Structure 1
Amino acid sequence: MAITAAQVKELRDSTGAGMMDAKKALTETDGDMEAAIDWLRTKGLAKAAKKADRIAAEGLVGVAVEGGRGVAVEVNSETDFVAKNADFQKLVSGITKAALGAGDLDALKRADMGGKTVEDALTAAIATIGENMTLRRMEAIEGDSVAAYVHNAAAEGLGKIGVLVALKGTDNGIGKQIAMHVAATAPMSLGEGDLDPAVLEREREVQTQKALEENATAAKPKPDAVIHNNIIPGRMKKFLEEVTLLGQKFVINPDVTVEQAAKDAGVEILGFVRMAVGEGIEKKEEDFAAEVAKTLAG
């Protein structure tokens, strides 16, 4: 299939690979972006690319905590200009507070908010502000205590990234620190047992292929047993240390893991929520020349 300049640019932006390497990767994988990323990684030409790099939506994330329950909601807008609007911020704050008493997203849409349902309040705001808005998702978490943190705060409890951390035990301030860590490192899961098996398997395939290719060109190739029993497990252990919250080095004290820092503070991390505006929504890009041609064609 024909590989477009826009595809090459997207792959380069998400992996940092060179133009020719990106083009070759796309050619080898018939334009499959995720497969092309893996192909580049097996050649040692790129690190794992995060889908969050392709965020397009605007809006705000709101977080609120009451007792041992914390909630996070995302409300999208068409432009960042509206996200800075005081009326929009008041709307998102109200929806977030309503979420404290809702079990899920559907229940939240039906929840009362100043005499209207949240859904009706959102519809009214769309008419007033003049821009489409969407209540996209809600997540809740519970523990003996819940710590919250908002990164790039637009107002109290509102920002581009919202984090909740649920703890077992008495929080002496470690919860906020862990929440800030989560905002900065974006772990994929709490621990290995919570990690998506598909993600784990994909990483194992990449590391296996990479190790075999490196060994094939090495001056002194290692026995297959060493590759499969030592090198690959070692790389998988490093991967888990990088992507699981409990295994990560604590940003405030890199000498210990987050799990150890929590233990030292007398608490156990039960779970976390990290919600960033627009994550998982892929940016739709169009080739500029094609866009101009289409415009001129009328």
Structure 2
Amino acid sequence: MANFNVADVKILRDRLGAGMVDSKNALVEADGDIEKAIEILRLKGQKGVAKREGRATSEGLVAAKENGDTATLIELASETDFVAKNQKFIDLSEKVLDAVTASGASTLDEALAADAGSQTVAATISDEAAILGEKLELRRIAKVSGEHFAIYLHRTSKDLPPQVGVVVGYTGDDAETARSIAQHISFANPEYLSRDDVPADAVDAERKIVTEIAENEGKPAAALPKIIEGRLTGYFKQVALLDQDYAKDNKLSVAKVLADAGLTVTGFARFKVGA
């Protein structure tokens, strides 16, 4: 019989999160050698990672951290919410976020290649995927520049880690209003800061659509320009932050709220897990 006891099994479970049966079997195969048993479990886990490569990762969490004049937002994805709320997965997200932030990475490829200690972020995630038994991936990152930052992480369920994350870079001194704007972004999901940031081809496509709709409604030709511009204004209120009605008071625009608070938004990012 292999030379190990219940305490050895507990060590494996604590260090790797492996199941009781898998831990015992690994110790039997390793003849009680804990380090060898760990290697066995990792190798088996890595084989499982390859098999899971094509699976969807629609769960996970978002996390954010500021560092000097930039802030980083990440989405770390898993297959199930069961793993998403596992402390090992949460610890992994913190390690990945720290590594990506310290590296200054601004693209996903740069983030995956960042140094996470003894190996890259990509390798670290792969190792943890082997341990947790699910496909895990760093799905995306965003960097926001600013003098100050408002970070808002929203939990859609009290049992899960944050599922919606917002980072707002801004100038000014009203941190409370800046946080409120971050909360607004989490709800309203603007795509651009201002209407000037909306790509011309997107505006042209929208103009074509609202023109066709107005014409099909039989509107008088003389009234069409005003109708079209009014509907384009409605489009900008959907996609441009500064044009949006403020979530806490829809009689005010976000631009008005910011101006009254002496704030200027220099950039923002918003992630929702799986979206």
- Aligning the two structures, in what range does the TM-score lie when normalised by the shorter sequence? 0.7 to 0.9
Q: Partners in 2 of 1:98 and 1:56 — Cα distance?
A: 22
**Equivalent residue for 1:116?**
119
Cα gap change, 1:87/1:56 in structure 2, threshold over 3 Å: closer, same or farther?
closer
* Deviation by residue 1:67-115 (Cα, 9 ceiling, x = unmatched): 3321111111111211111111111121112222222222322223243
1:131 partner SS: coil
Indicate the structure (1 or 2) with the bigger Cα radius of gyration.
Answer: 2
**Equivalent residue for 1:103?**
105
RMSD, aligned α-carbons: 2.0
Q: Partners in 1 of 2:137 and 2:193 — Cα distance?
A: 29
1:104-253 pair list within 5 angstroms: 104=106, 105-152=108-155, 159-215=162-218, 222=220, 224-227=221-224, 229-253=225-249
Range that drifts further, 140-149 or 252-261 = 252-261
1:256 partner SS: strand
Q: Partners in 1 of 2:203 and 2:191 — Cα distance?
A: 11
| TM-score between the two structures when normalised by the length of structure 1 | 0.68
* Deviation by residue 1:54-73 (Cα, 9 ceiling, x = unmatched): x9721111111233321111
Q: Partners in 1 of 2:157 and 2:231 — Cα distance?
A: 40
Pair 1:60 & 2:67 matched:
no
Cα gap change, 1:111/1:272 in structure 2, threshold over 3 Å: closer, same or farther?
same
Percent identity reads 32
**Alpha-carbon deviation of 1:154?**
7.5
| TM-score between the two structures when normalised by the length of structure 2 | 0.73
Match of 1:261 among 257, 260, 274: 257
* Deviation by residue 1:228-285 (Cα, 9 ceiling, x = unmatched): x211111111221232100111112222211111111111111110111122xxxxxx
Cα gap change, 1:56/1:236 in structure 2, threshold over 3 Å: closer, same or farther?
farther
Structure 2, unpaired ranges of 5+: 1-55
Structure 1, unpaired ranges of 5+: 1-54, 216-220, 280-298
Where in structure 1 do 4 or more consecutive aligned residues deviate above 6 Å? none
1:236 partner SS: helix
1:103 is matched by which residue type in structure 2? Answer: A
